Amino acid sequence: MEWEVVIGLETHVQLLTKSKIFSGASTAFGAAPNTQACAVDIALPGVLPVLNKAAVEKAIMFGLAVNANINRRSVFARKNYFYPDLPKGYQISQYEIPIVQGGTISIVVKEGEKNVRLTRAHLEEDAGKSLHENFRDMTGIDLNRAGTPLLEIVSEPDMRSAEEAVAYAKALHGLVRWIDICDGNMQEGSFRFDANVSVRPKRSAKLGTRCEIKNLNSFRFLEHAIEFEVRRQIGILEDGGVIEQETRLYDPEKNETRSMRTKEEAHDYRYFPDPDLLPLEVTQKWIDEMKDALTELPQARREHYKREYGLSAYDTSLLTDSQRKADFFEFAVKYLGGPGAKTVANWVNGELSAILNDRGIDFPQLPMEPIKFAEFMKLVVDGVISAKAAKEVLRRMSEGEGDAKTIVAKYGLTQISDAGEIEKIVDEVLAANPKQVEDYRVGKEKAFNSLVGQVMKVTKGKANPGQLNEILKRKLAS
Amino acid sequence: MFNFSLKQLSDLLAAKKISSAEVTREFLGRINRLNPLYNAFITVNEEASLQQALVADTKIAQGLAQPLTGIPVAHKDIFCAKGWRTTCGSKILSNFIAPYDAHVVERFKERGMVILGKTNMDEFAMGSSSETSYYGPVKNPWDVRAVPGGSSGGSAAAVAARMAPAAIGTDTGGSIRQPAALCGISGIKPTYGVVSRYGMIAFASSLDQGGPMARSAEDLALVLNVMAGFDARDSTSLDRPPEDYTRDLTKTLAGLKIGLPREYFAEGLSDDVAQAVEAAVGQYRKLGASTVEISLPNTKLSIPVYYVLAPAEASSNLSRYDGVRYGYRAPQYNDLLDMYRKTRAQGFGAEVKRRILIGTYVLSHGYYDAYYLKAQKLRRLIAQDFAEAFKKCDVIMGPTSPTAAFNIGEKSGDPVQMYLSDIYTIAVNLAGLPGMSIPCGFSHKKLPVGLHIIGNYFSEARMLNIAHQYQLATDWHKRMPEGI
């Protein structure tokens, strides 16, 4: 039987606020345990939560960025359960009425573009951490993270493969950094997913029973966990079994998911509106202010690039990974003032991204100004340096060795684009290699490449390949 | 000195005729002598109190005295006070030393007022008799066989026995007004949101409200002036300009329209309480007021609504007492779940457990709509009753409690009978209205009876005026128990 995979993601996005969502304690990562937990965070008797406006603003910005409905009135509820790193015995979250409802995220996959619908996004507080290492027969509790603001973004079950899920996750990751509501640091847990996965026979309208896979904190784990889970579910179904609705945990070391709790063991969270907090009212004025604060969104830029420069959906989606990356592209294209957008896109998405990848950094950390990259692109487009030399120049620039012109001069990387000079060298090479000339004339194409190689050898690879081709062909034909 | 009003004490202090240390010592001495009889205090810390008195005396010496500077006040053991053990009447907080001050405590400290001690109370304010305290029952100074009411029974008994010139309490369903009535003192629960709940240990967040307990309406007004005020740390605190609650005390009552709810003078009200309340209403007519019969048709719903909503909130509010970070932890356990179970089984008393169970049940999946949601809807109907009533009258009067103080043990085995003793007070919390109780006579067993005054939102100053004018014309509030 052919199976269809159905995936929905719940993404926990840690909001970039200075203080916690319901207290004044700092949210900075990495402090000594329990030094960033105030009376409210450790839930002393008598303390009360006060909502941090900055967290609300970031939620509104997200809602606007995905074209969602911002609820004018949303309600904080208590999700009740006992756990040592949950100091109050309940988590303050939004349940029946979240701040953001609806919206879409556009993703690009092999088959083209696709919109993933969002169900909702709601504000909530994070729990602390239980530390099991370094404590013999005991568990340590670090409440620094308790009360950190989260936006939980819930998608509709619109994804049909692990690839689509990863594309969605990456698009979302790019967006939250683009609008600067999250640092996107996955190692520190600022951006993590739970995946709801089910399978059903192709063309079946009814959804299969889903399993929720908890706490995936990298794109790779997300992909592997889904792939494993899909294989597991199909295996069970093909053996005539049924899927139990359950919560599963992904083990990256064994690359497998395993059961955490079944539906019967599911908690009854006894949600009810938090009487310590008034309903959250958002005025149109506030929404308008957030609209004004929002920069041009990646989706708008993608449309612009497609229309203006005729770039593909794939190229534009890569270019808009981050705002700084898009800035690099745009600045260079404008600097060149004419055609060459595709070349610039190829360099930004290709060589420059590869260099960053090798160095394990991202565009924001690149010690290079967009203007410097634009100057570099001009040298490439004008044929001043060869593609090969350009790669070296760019690498040296990214390491902070200076601007393109300086590097080209320092290492003598200028391309020979003087037709007269190339002609002179070509004449010398043809004179010195009568056999190859003869071979070419009787139809041995390979001989041409050999002659090109000879010229390049003489010029130390600096001859403009386009011009060389043209001159060589002309000479051989005469 | 122990019978002086707050105004008298304050004037003497400001004139440097007496010192705060002297006043504080006087009351500490009385606590020392009388508390063994009444068990009104859980914690007394003479050294800390006298230290505060010295700070107050310095303030006065520097000419920085404000109203009530140097006055000692007893605090219900539900208000966190830095460095003071704060137990909320529970074993589970028996070792909890508060590391911070409640908003109310901060305001008292700014005034240079003295904490005289932490008063006994029903565990987590759950009770109407102060019998559910882990620290033993409080006894009524008018008759040690009788309860003082609850949950602020320790504060009420402390003021009645003149162990404190004034006290503070909290009122979730009548916990200031009912013990005030049963102990023959005055108490006011302000409009919800007037006094910050920050640092006041939560029982039922949407109902809890702090307020003063004292011997007269005038004293209440002076203490409320200090307690009330906006606090950004409590999201339900109301941001309103400060008020002087003494401003209307001397106003005449001519033209005052008193509403008498039919439902408050019906079945269940004892004859002696009814007679005292009717006599008080008669006194008000003499003072120029007129009366009108009104109806609060949903009165009978207030107890069932309250006993869904308050336990629901409490079951969640009390989850933090888990033995992990502070408070009592069971000495022996096998694993985490066992630690939770034993800690809470050993740390909470029977009434608290009962309410946690009720609250957990009504919030459970499948029951939420039928209980919690329905109760919220009815809560609005109850508030609507009052809104209708206040179209016909300025203030509502009736009995605070259906009977005078009952005996210790009399109702502790029958929770529903116990809950019924708050039948008149609970609706006021559900509506968020201000309510007060003032002494208006005695039962046939010579126990105090309270007159319940319910005002419209933010009408505290007017209510205090209404109470004060009555107290100028009568002396019920000046009566003292024997043997103190």
Q: How far apart are CA B460 and CA B187, in angstroms?
A: 12
Yes or no, beta carbons of A42 and B325 under 8 Å apart: yes
pLDDT, residue A420, reads 84
pLDDT band, residue A389 (cuts 50/70/90): confident
Lowest average pLDDT, out of A314-328, B62-76, B189-203, goes to: A314-328
Taking every pair of C-alpha atoms in chain A, what is the biggest distance, in angstroms? 97
Q: How many domains does chain B have?
A: 1
Q: Residue B236 is nearest to which of A47, A87, A276, comparing CB atoms?
A: A276
Q: Is the peptide bond before A23 cis (omega within 30 degrees of 0)?
A: no
Yes or no, beta carbons of B319 and A82 under 8 Å apart: yes
CB of A89 within 8 Å of a chain B CB? The answer is yes
pLDDT higher than threshold 80 for residue A246: yes
pLDDT band, residue A450 (cuts 50/70/90): confident
Looking at the complex, report in whole angstroms how far the Cα of residue B224 sits from the nearest Cα belonging to chain A: 20
Determine the 3-state secondary structure of A162 from DSSP.
helix
CB of A47 within 8 Å of a chain B CB? The answer is yes
Chain A neighbors of B96, CB-CB under 8 A: 45
pLDDT band, residue B343 (cuts 50/70/90): very high
* CA nearest to A81 within chain B: B319
pLDDT 10s digits, B219-241: 999 999 999 999 999 999 999 99
The whole-chain average pLDDT of chain A stands at 92
Whether residue B76 lies in the annotated active site: yes
pLDDT, residue A134, reads 78
pLDDT, residue A215, reads 84
Whether residue B19 lies in the annotated active site: no
Residues of chain A with CATH 1.10.10.410: 419-477
Lowest average pLDDT, out of A47-56, A439-448, B232-241, B268-277, goes to: A439-448
Q: Residue A46 is nearest to which of B199, B204, B322, comparing CB atoms?
A: B199
Per the CB < 8 A criterion, the answer to whether A297 and A178 are in contact is yes
Looking at the complex, report in whole angstroms how far the Cα of residue A135 sits from the nearest Cα belonging to chain B: 15
Give me the amino acid identity at A72.
R
CATH architecture for residues A419-477: Orthogonal Bundle (1.10)
Burial (CB < 10 A; 0-12, 13-18, 19+), residue A175, is buried
Chain B neighbors of A272, CB-CB under 8 A: 312, 316, 363, 368, 372
pLDDT, residue A183, reads 93
Is residue B411 assigned to a domain? no
**Residue indicated by tokens 């009787």:** A442
Yes or no, beta carbons of B80 and A45 under 8 Å apart: yes
Q: How far apart are CA A314 and CA A345, in angstroms?
A: 11
* CA nearest to B363 within chain A: A270
**Stretch A46-69: mean pLDDT:** 98
**Residue indicated by tokens 């340096």:** A385
Would you state the structure tokens that stand for residue B398, as one six-digit string? 């009736």
pLDDT, residue A339, reads 78
Per the CB < 8 A criterion, the answer to whether A62 and A153 are in contact is yes
pLDDT band, residue A444 (cuts 50/70/90): confident
Per DSSP, helices labelled H in A23-94 are 53-65
Would you state the structure tokens that stand for residue A298, as one six-digit string? 């990646």
pLDDT, residue B341, reads 98
CB of A39 within 8 Å of a chain B CB? The answer is yes
Q: How far apart are CA B226 and CA A121, in angstroms?
A: 43
Residue B235 forms beta bridges with which residues? none
pLDDT higher than threshold 90 for residue A461: no
Range of the domain at B85: 6-249
pLDDT, residue A443, reads 82
Would you state the structure tokens that stand for residue B22, as one six-digit string? 């002297």
CB of A264 within 8 Å of a chain B CB? The answer is no
Q: Apex CA A178: angle with CA A177 and CA A183, to 5°?
A: 15
Yes or no, beta carbons of B96 and A277 under 8 Å apart: no
Q: Please give the full DSSP string across A111-151, using - where no structure is assigned.
A: TEEEEEEEEEEEEEE---EEE-TT-TTS-EEE-SSTT-EEE
pLDDT higher than threshold 90 for residue A295: no
pLDDT 10s digits, B286-310: 999 999 999 999 999 999 999 999 9
Yes or no, beta carbons of B236 and A51 under 8 Å apart: no
Interface of B with A (CB under 8 A): 79-80, 86, 88, 93, 96, 98-100, 102, 197-202, 204-206, 232-236, 312-313, 315-316, 318-322, 324-326, 336, 340, 360, 363-365, 368, 372
pLDDT higher than threshold 80 for residue A417: no
Q: Of residues B10, B20, B49, B76, which has the active-site annotation?
A: B76
Yes or no, beta carbons of A45 and B88 under 8 Å apart: yes
pLDDT, residue B37, reads 97
Give B414's contacts (C-beta < 8 A, 6+ positions apart). Answer: none
pLDDT, residue B412, reads 87
pTM (2 d.p.): 0.91
Looking at the complex, report in whole angstroms how far the Cα of residue B147 sits from the nearest Cα belonging to chain A: 27
ipTM at complex level: 0.96
Q: Residue A46 is nearest to which of B202, B236, B324, comparing CB atoms?
A: B202
Chain A neighbors of B334, CB-CB under 8 A: none
Q: Are strands A256-262 and A246-251 parallel, antiparallel or unpaired?
A: antiparallel
Looking at the complex, report in whole angstroms how far the Cα of residue B337 sits from the nearest Cα belonging to chain A: 9
Q: Residue B206: give its domain's CATH number.
A: 3.90.1300.10
Chain B neighbors of A130, CB-CB under 8 A: none
Lowest average pLDDT, out of A260-269, B4-13, B208-217, goes to: A260-269
Chain A neighbors of B118, CB-CB under 8 A: none
Q: How far apart are CA B81 and CA B91, in angstroms?
A: 18
Cα A473 from chain centre: 46
Q: How far apart are CA A100 and CA A64, in angstroms?
A: 9
Would you state the structure tokens that stand for residue A331, as one six-digit string? 């600045």
Whether residue B49 lies in the annotated active site: no
Q: Of residues B49, B175, B216, B412, which has the active-site annotation?
A: B175
Yes or no, beta carbons of B320 and A84 under 8 Å apart: no
pLDDT 10s digits, B66-121: 999 999 999 999 999 999 999 999 999 999 999 999 999 999 999 999 999 999 99
Is residue B177 assigned to a domain? yes
Is residue B282 assigned to a domain? no
Half-sphere exposure of B146 (CA within 13 A, CB side): 21
pLDDT higher than threshold 80 for residue A478: no
Yes or no, beta carbons of B236 and A87 under 8 Å apart: no
Interface mutation vs chain A, best among B121, B237, B322, most A CBs within 10 Å: B322
Q: Of residues B151, B155, B437, B443, which has the active-site annotation?
A: B151
Yes or no, beta carbons of A43 and B325 under 8 Å apart: yes
Answer positive or negative: Cα dihedral of B429, B435, B436, B437. Answer: negative
Would you state the structure tokens that stand for residue A345, as one six-digit string? 């896109």
- Name the region of B149 (left: φ>0; alpha: ψ -120 to 50; beta: rest): left
* CA nearest to A272 within chain B: B363
Chain B neighbors of A95, CB-CB under 8 A: none
pLDDT 10s digits, A66-123: 999 999 999 999 999 999 999 999 999 999 999 999 999 999 888 888 999 999 999 9
pLDDT, residue A249, reads 94
Is residue B396 assigned to a domain? no
Cβ contacts below 8 Å, chain A against chain B, sum to 97
Q: What are phi and psi of A78, to 5 degrees?
A: -100, 130
CB of A84 within 8 Å of a chain B CB? The answer is yes
Looking at the complex, report in whole angstroms how far the Cα of residue B65 sits from the nearest Cα belonging to chain A: 30
